[in-house]
Structure 1
């Protein structure tokens, strides 16, 4: 008789993530996940018809965890520049972890992985831009003296996010200087 598994999709994702994070992509296989979950291989194929779909879902969950953290930052009562700094610090940790897990050469055996990863990355960067844009609009509504009315808020949000990414990848650019420039632009 088949046993009932509570949240089989989550069990599969958690197990696959542990294998991938601890041992790398090359050690991840549908059969191995099935064995470690103590479920039939067919059960995994019901949720993830290919290894690629399993990996893409794991990457999506990785991004969702980051945006959960960002939501907590946004909902805090902290002031605008403190929130931005906290988002930057969180993004910095996220990007470093992302490189360690998702940018290893063994994941990108086929162009499909690169294409899928880049599509997802662009979606989530756009989402982060929208979050920053909302923060800018809120700042404008609560501080009417803010002088960036002439600047498109979406373009300013894009500018902030792209500078965040640059500063993470090129640590010779310091956040403090960026913040000073931003304060001058937004006053």
Structure 2
């Protein structure tokens, strides 16, 4: 009789996250992850087509947490600068964790990374926060809120990757 396994996909994702963050992309081995989850390699392939599919699942789940934070801040009664700093910190944590993986996957020719629309939800959340800040009189942006949200997120992402531009420099250069 076959054994019934619960939450295998979640176990694979969590174990994969541990291996990826602790050992890196090059040491990410499906056999080791399956063994740690007490499943056979064939069972792994019931959930993921290859190692990159699992990695993309892990990265997507963690990016969703950045978006969740951005959405949770929309109606919080804190200054827009504080909201932006929290988003900046989360983006920094995310990219610090995964930048090497992105580079290795790109070098290996992975085609599964969904880069086109990954920022749309965070742009929308920040645009709502900006509109609330305008209503409260906290800021008076010189450009429309949709463009401003994109400019801020793109600037944060660039600054985090470069490590030579501080959050305060971004915030004050935007002149809101």
TM > 0.5: yes
Identify the residue that residue 176 of structure 1 maps to in structure 2: 168
- Pairs within 5 Å for 1:31-180: 31-100=31-100, 102-103=101-102, 105=104, 107-108=105-106, 110-111=108-109, 113=110, 115-117=111-113, 120-143=114-137, 147-148=140-141, 151-180=143-172
Structure 2 vs 1, CA of residues 15 and 89 (structure 1 numbering), >3 Å: closer, same or farther?
closer
SS of the equivalent of 1:3 reads coil
- Between the aligned partners of 1:135 and 1:173, the Cα distance in structure 2 is 23
- Between the aligned partners of 1:108 and 1:167, the Cα distance in structure 2 is 21
Structure 2 vs 1, CA of residues 176 and 23 (structure 1 numbering), >3 Å: closer, same or farther?
closer
State the 1:154 CA deviation.
Answer: 1.2
- Between the aligned partners of 1:108 and 1:181, the Cα distance in structure 2 is 32
Structure 2 vs 1, CA of residues 92 and 121 (structure 1 numbering), >3 Å: closer, same or farther?
same
Q: Which runs of 5+ in 1 are unaligned?
A: none
Higher RCO, 1 or 2 (CA under 8 Å, sep at least 6)?
2
- Between the aligned partners of 1:25 and 1:147, the Cα distance in structure 2 is 44
Q: CA RMSD in A?
A: 2.5
SS of the equivalent of 2:3 reads coil
TM-score of the superposed pair, with normalisation by structure 1: 0.78
| Cα deviation code 1:128-162 (max 9, x no counterpart) | 2222111112223343x9544x7222111111112
| Cα deviation code 1:19-39 (max 9, x no counterpart) | 222223333333322222112
- Between the aligned partners of 2:161 and 2:32, the Cα distance in structure 1 is 35
TM-score of the superposed pair, with normalisation by structure 2: 0.82
- Pairs within 5 Å for 1:21-32: 21-32=21-32
Give the total of aligned pairs. 176
| Cα deviation code 1:31-52 (max 9, x no counterpart) | 3222221123222211112222
- Between the aligned partners of 1:67 and 1:146, the Cα distance in structure 2 is 23
Q: Which runs of 5+ in 2 are unaligned?
A: none
Q: Whose helix fraction is larger, Structure 1's or Structure 2's?
A: 1
Greater Rg, structure 1 or structure 2? Answer: 1
